[in-house]
Structures are given as C-alpha cells and as structure tokens.
Amino acid sequence: MAPTTARCLATLTIVAPTALLACASASISTSHAGALAVRDFCARPPADTSCTVQNTQRLNSGYIVTIDRRPPSGNDRINVSVSNGGATTLIPARQPGPGTPADTTKRGP
C-alpha cells in the first residue's frame, strides 16, 4: 500500500445482537510529513543540498511544511500542505496586495 493513501483500520465489535464497525484514520508524525513533502516536491533522488525543511507547523487537518529548494529542484521557498492521510498539496505563494511593498530581502543558500 502506498504511504500517501489514507488507511482505514476497521474493527468489528459484537455487542449483544448488534455489530458495530469503526473506522479510524492513521495519523502521521512531523518527520513523516517533512519526508513526504520533500519526496513529492524535490528532485528525485533528492541531492543532499537540493532541499531543506525549514519549518513544520501542526494543524488540525495535518501539517504545513516549509521547504527551501535549490537546483536541480528549484531555487525558491515553498509551503506544502500534508494531510493526516499523507496527501501533499503545494500552497500557492501569495502575491503582495495593492499598496504592499514587495519583499526585497534576499535569502542566501
């Protein structure tokens, strides 16, 4: 079974004449969320310096993982949403609104 598919653990419990079927989704850890984000959004196989996980933030629905990418993967910083089931989605960068100064800071490698 692929690690990004949601797994459903079914348990059958017989209580008197009724049968109850419970389904619980498996949750992932912080390190697993980072590994999934790097696997899905960095070069394959990732070089030692091509991607660096800068931050992992826990949410109710999963994690937001911030990754610094370097060539050959890219030359940018991205945010990736990782659900509790392991699905990954790139979060688009927000453009500065009207009247908001553009970010002029430079990030070094």
> What pLDDT, on a 0 to 100 scale, did the predictor assign at position 22?
38
Location of structure tokens 């994690």: 63
7 in any annotated domain = no
pLDDT band at 104 (very low <50, low <70, confident <90, very high): low
Task: Give percent above pLDDT 90 in the chain.
Answer: 32
E strand segments, the chain: 8-15, 18-25, 51-59, 62-69, 76-83, 88-91
The pLDDT of residue 42 is 87
Residue 82 forms part of a structural domain: yes
Question: Residue 37 falls within a domain, yes or no?
Answer: yes
State how many domains the chain has.
1
Q: Is residue 96 part of a domain?
A: no
- pLDDT of 33-43, one tens digit each? 999 999 898 87
Span 56-67, pLDDT tens digits: 999 988 999 999
